[in-house]
Amino acid sequence: MAEHHDDDHGNSVAAWAMVGILLVGAAVMSLAVALGSIPMFVVGLVIAILGLVVGKVLALAGYGVDGAISRRDTNVS
């Protein structure tokens, strides 16, 4: 059986930006639930949706795992 080694594991600018923004949105929504604030929850939801959009836009711009910019920045360590 041939082995396929994929060492990037989604490690890209697009992935990091998306996950970071999603974490902020999740934190805001969690705080909103604890405080019982519906408007604050909606703000957290908007932040989370913004994170998804930012991740997709960056991936389409070449900052994803298979993007042209990501491939150019290999072996930076």
CA 29 to chain centre: 17
17 Cβ contact partners less than 8 Å away, ≥ 6 residues apart: 51, 54, 55, 58
Decide if 73 is inside a domain: no
pLDDT band at 2 (very low <50, low <70, confident <90, very high): low
**Which spans in 12-63 are helix H?**
13-35, 38-58
Q: How far is Cα 39 from Cα 70, in angstroms, rounded to an integer? A: 38
Q: Which residue has the tokens 């705080």?
A: 31
pLDDT at 70 over 70: no
Tokens of 46: 């908007």
How many domains does one find in the chain? 1
Domain that holds residue 42: 13-66
Please indicate whether residue 76 or residue 47 has the higher confidence score (pLDDT). Answer: 47
Residue 17 lies in a domain: yes
The predicted pLDDT at position 31 comes to 98
Residue at 71 is within a domain: no
pLDDT band at 12 (very low <50, low <70, confident <90, very high): confident
Rounded to an integer, the average pLDDT of 23-43 is 98
Question: Which of helix, strand or coil describes residue 37?
Answer: coil
Label residue 45 by pLDDT band (50, 70, 90): very high
